[in-house]
Amino acid sequence: MSMIPKTAGAAAVPAGTSRRSRDFHRLSPFWNTIFHLVSGGFALACVFPFLFVVIISLTREQSLLEVGYRIIPDALSLSAYRYIFQTGDQLLQSYLVTITITVLGTLLTVVMTTLYAYALSRKSFKYRGFFSFLAFFTMLFSGGLVPTYIVVTQFLHLKDTLWALILPMAMNAFNILVLRTFFQTMVPDPIIESGKIDGAGEFRALFSLVLPISLPGLATIALFSTLGYWNDWFNALLYIDSNQLVPLQALLMRIQNSMQFIIQNSSLLSSGQSKEMIRSLPQETSRMAMVVLATGPIVLAYPFFQRYFIQGLTIGAVKD
Amino acid sequence: MNRLATAFRDLRRNGAFLLMVLPGAAWFILFCYLPMPGAIFAFKEFRVDLGGGFFGAIFRSEWVGFKNFEFLFKAHDAYIITRNTVLYNLVFIVLGLVCSVAMALLLFQLTQKRLAKLYQTAMFMPYFLSWVIVSYFTFSFLSVDKGVVNQLLGTLGVQPIDWYSDPKYWPYILVFMNLWKGVGYSSVIYLAAIAGIDKTYYEAAMIDGASKWQQTLRITLPLIRPMMIILTILAVGGIFRADFGLFFQIPRDSGALFPVTNVIDTYVYRSLKVLGDFGMSTAAGLYQSVVGLILVLTTNKIVKKINEEQALF
């Protein structure tokens, strides 16, 4: 029976005493059901749109034209995926661009952030205050979109290069904050100082003492960065014109914009013209299949990595 | 002489550290600090054809005083984009807080922990998707001819609605989408905080005969209140910054919806890339940065009053 000693209040209701005392730490079946309905319902609402897009991508194009998007399609077909793999040069190119910037960008971010955050985490670094300010002031004030755009295009001349997709996102103060806090809590100063007595320099201390026990922290930064690069379309929107350099998300955005353009201007275009434009775009199901292919890797991978995101977000939210 | 020697010694002693911060510092200077003087374009007639690249443009462009700001504020645009940005953010902050704390409390109570974990994972998913992807999702629901919502309305005998050209629905749609994408992940953060609460509080409360509801009101909420306050105040500090992706991608850049979907960030972007009006675009950006800075400084002061340790600086 229950381990909880019966209180006077519980004793006053003899019938079902044990159930009532259990209620203190267990939800009653009624409320448990309600809670499951609410949270489970919201959970379903969060994944449903993705499942729906998967279903649409597997529907036969003809049935889409006849009855619209259906949760239970009347005719299944893999032709959208077949079409993409046969004719999807642009998609493959965009995949390549996205993978390249994600890998390079994440490496760059992790290396630069680790070095910067480690220096800030060490009390013996004399100019720590100055470099902390240099990083964290950027959280408060920025020159704004236009000056940044002008610097990137007119001064650094990165327009229409792969670097325009990598460099603007390579660092941010938040990552430094997370990693610095992580180093400070995981690796107490005495450990490093003792290592230094044994003759290790700061780089040695970082690589052989600090990094091996800070891998979860690095993983957090790496995953935030991977997600950021994989999902980025904003830099492409600003800096990329060449089709060769369009990442996945920006490709999907472009297709969507052309669709919207045709819909909005259907009265201006002659019917032949708009038909021609529509024909040049992937069909409905193929577009949805591209969404699935662009999202698939993330959806499959994130359940295994989510604890690192939670960790990063909690460290970031509570500072030191 | 002596001072110079000490300075050199200090530099040498910190050589390893300086080498470490060098790449990062260079990045901050190039991508954050170099653009800052560019804010001067808000008071100039920007021209790139004067030679000398970025700096040439800064020094050689003609001063126009506050003309760019005058234009921005006279055109009524400033009012609309400020109103939209601030009001949407306020609603997001209030509803976001209520929904995510409520969801975290709910998940914490569930007796089947495995199912609770599953729900948590599912709710976290929207956080990992870009707004471009999400806008495809919304389109599958709101498309005029093929969308699910219009199909449902059709079976109820209601005329199909042209969602993407009628502004009156969009405040609700945007709020809904913001909550859909954000509540899962912030409730996971709150849940992590709740799970970190010392179990002995609850054991003591159970021995005293406190109900679940009483435990929530008297233990859980007071203990996560500091976190709620800090996160909210920080969000208020950012109230002048809109989520560009939400306001740009979800309404599909539809012009008919601008009165209720245009925010400062989308306005700055469109003035730059669509209209090519560098001056006004910089002016709007500077307006946002300055008011944003004032807001952050003010909220930080308030945080400091409440809890010294939680202040940003």
The DSSP annotation for A148-176 comes to: HHHIIIIIS--TTSTHHHHGGGS--HHHH
Task: Decide if A314 and B310 are in contact by the 8 Å CB cutoff.
Answer: no
What would the mean pLDDT of A32-37 be, rounded to a whole number?
90
Predicted confidence at residue A48, as pLDDT, reads 93
Task: Look at the block and give the residue holding tokens 């470490």.
Answer: B20
Hey, what are A233's tokens?
A: 């379309």
Please state the φ and ψ torsions of residue A170, each to the nearest 5 degrees. -65, -35
Q: Is the pLDDT assigned to residue A317 strictly greater than 70? A: no
Q: Which of A142, A241, A309 best probes binding to B when mutated, by most B CB atoms within 10 angstroms?
A: A142
Q: Report the distance separating Cα A71 and Cα B310, nearest Å.
A: 48
In whole angstroms, how far apart are CA A70 and each of A58, A63, B150, B194, B258? 11, 9, 12, 40, 30
Give, for all 313 residues of chain B, the pLDDT tens digit: 678 888 888 888 888 899 999 999 999 999 999 999 888 888 887 776 666 677 777 777 788 888 888 878 887 888 999 999 999 999 999 999 999 999 999 999 888 888 989 999 999 999 999 999 999 999 989 988 888 898 889 889 888 888 998 999 999 999 999 999 999 989 988 998 898 888 899 889 888 888 888 888 899 999 998 888 878 877 888 899 999 999 999 998 888 899 999 999 999 999 888 888 888 888 889 999 999 889 888 888 887 887 776 666 6
CB distance from B124 to chain A under 8 Å? yes
Question: CA B219 to CA B52: how far, in whole Å?
Answer: 64
- A37-70, pLDDT tens digit by residue? 999 999 999 999 999 999 988 888 877 777 778 8
Angle of CA points A124, A126, A128, to nearest 5°: 95
User: What's residue A51's pLDDT?
Assistant: 93
Q: What is the pTM of this model?
A: 0.87
Amino acid at B16: A
Q: Which one, of B307, B209, B255, lies nearest residue A319 by Cα?
A: B307
Distance from CA of A275 to the nearest CA of B (A): 17
Q: Which residues in chain B have their CB less than 8 angstroms from residue A206's CB?
A: 20
Residue B188: its chain A contacts at CB < 8 A? Answer: 306, 310, 313
Of A247, A228, A234, give the one whose Cα is nearest residue A175.
A228
Q: How far apart are CA B273 and CA B280, in angstroms?
A: 12
Disruptive mutation site among A21, A23, A46 for chain B (greatest number of B CBs within 10 Å): A46
Q: Measure Cα distances from A212 to A5, A204, A206, A217, A222 in Å.
A: 48, 12, 9, 10, 15
Strands B44-45 and B62-63: antiparallel
